[in-house]
Amino acid sequence: MTLLTIDQFKTYFEMENDSMILSPQVAMIANLFDYNNFDYQSTYEIIEPIQQYSNVLIDVTDQDKFPGVTFGHIQKWFKYAMKFVKEGGRLQAKFPPQVVLNLINQNLQVNKIYLSPNECFVDIQNESRTRNTTVSYSTGEVLDIDLNNESILYSYDESAYNYIKNVGIKYSVDNITFSGHDVATKLEQTKEKAKQQNKFGLVIYNNVPLLRVEKLEETNVSSGSNCYLFDSEKERDSYYNTLYHPKVVALAKNLAYNQTMRIKVQSYLLHPSIFNYAV
């Protein structure tokens, strides 16, 4: 992902009198247009009390590592930038596309999102979400999405959007999470529980960028996966086979932004409607 360009600044950013710029590239371009009534901070620093602004601008690339953390850099940069935004103020930003996964889970008013394969531009209001979001793709599609009830796909796919709209963002399924230091013990306990209750388990890994599914009795799972129990072996095997259908694998990657398979993504895949989708 490259730094912000002049054309992108003109298209996606707006300057206001009460502005803070948090990236040197944005500040340099703003100066080219003779904008000089803004504050600027180029390094990560929080000085209490934080001065907040009506308009905050930032450009974050894949190479920008957040100080002091080894993962979750994009989420950290997003939270850092929001600290400078007044209540009711705006954050205008360029991020890697996977920031959208963080926005969906925030109760913030997301006005606009522009998505391309390598970057996205967001316009966020620091207030509770009350309006739909305009989502635009570099391929030309423009959607009006209710983030309280729908997810946003990494790339536009009409049939996938119809599917997730039908399922709904609040759909969830019960799961047993394998994580921490006692994974081996929990796995054996789950296998024994399934055997006693005549249940049949399906394990989905969530710490790999590709969809990986195993039957409970065949797995020696490491940390970072979830187990789902079904009442019949036939039902479990139907999901197992369907989750490896190319169309479903593509849906999973699209929902996950080619990142890890989070619980919400797995819930979409385990909805009964998935069988009709995979045709």
Angle, helices 246-256/158-167, rounded to nearest 10 degrees: 80
Separation of alpha carbons 69 and 73, rounded Å: 7
For the ranges 46-50, 77-81, 90-94, the lowest mean pLDDT is seen at 46-50
For the ranges 7-11, 18-22, 182-186, 230-234, the lowest mean pLDDT is seen at 182-186
| 49 preceded by a cis bond (ω within 30 of 0) | yes
Query: CA 49: distance to chain centroid?
Result: 30
Give the pLDDT confidence score for residue 133 in this predicted structure.
Answer: 96
What is the biggest distance separating any 2 CA atoms in the chain, rounded to whole angstroms? 73
Considering only residues 261 and 39, tell me which one the structure prediction assigns the higher pLDDT: 39
* pLDDT tier, 42 (very low <50, low <70, confident <90, very high otherwise): confident
Q: What is the dihedral angle through the alpha carbons of 12, 112, 19, 60, rounded to the nearest 10 degrees?
A: -70
Separation of alpha carbons 89 and 112, rounded Å: 14
Task: Report whether 163 contacts 251 (CB < 8 A).
Answer: yes
Pairing of strands 38-40, 19-21: parallel
> Residue 72: pLDDT above 90?
no
pTM > 0.85: yes or no: yes
Q: Mean pLDDT, to the nearest integer, of 134-152?
A: 94
What the block records as the tokens of 211 is 């969809």
What CATH number labels 6-156? 3.40.50
Separation of alpha carbons 161 and 217, rounded Å: 34
All CATH 3.40.50 domain ranges of the chain, comma separated, are 6-156
What the block records as the tokens of 243 is 């989750």
Q: Mean pLDDT, to the nearest integer, of 170-190?
A: 87
* pLDDT tier, 208 (very low <50, low <70, confident <90, very high otherwise): low
> Residue 202: pLDDT above 80?
yes
* pLDDT tier, 37 (very low <50, low <70, confident <90, very high otherwise): confident
Task: Report whether 160 contacts 251 (CB < 8 A).
Answer: yes
Nearest to 104 by CA among 61, 57, 70, 145: 145
Nearest to 201 by CA among 171, 222, 226, 173: 226
Separation of alpha carbons 67 and 45, rounded Å: 10
Give the pLDDT confidence score for residue 70 in this predicted structure.
Answer: 67
Q: Mean pLDDT, to the nearest integer, of 85-109?
A: 92
> Residue 209: pLDDT above 70?
no
Give the pLDDT confidence score for residue 101 in this predicted structure.
Answer: 86
Considering only residues 97 and 262, tell me which one the structure prediction assigns the higher pLDDT: 97
Residues in the chain: 279
Separation of alpha carbons 274 and 279, rounded Å: 9
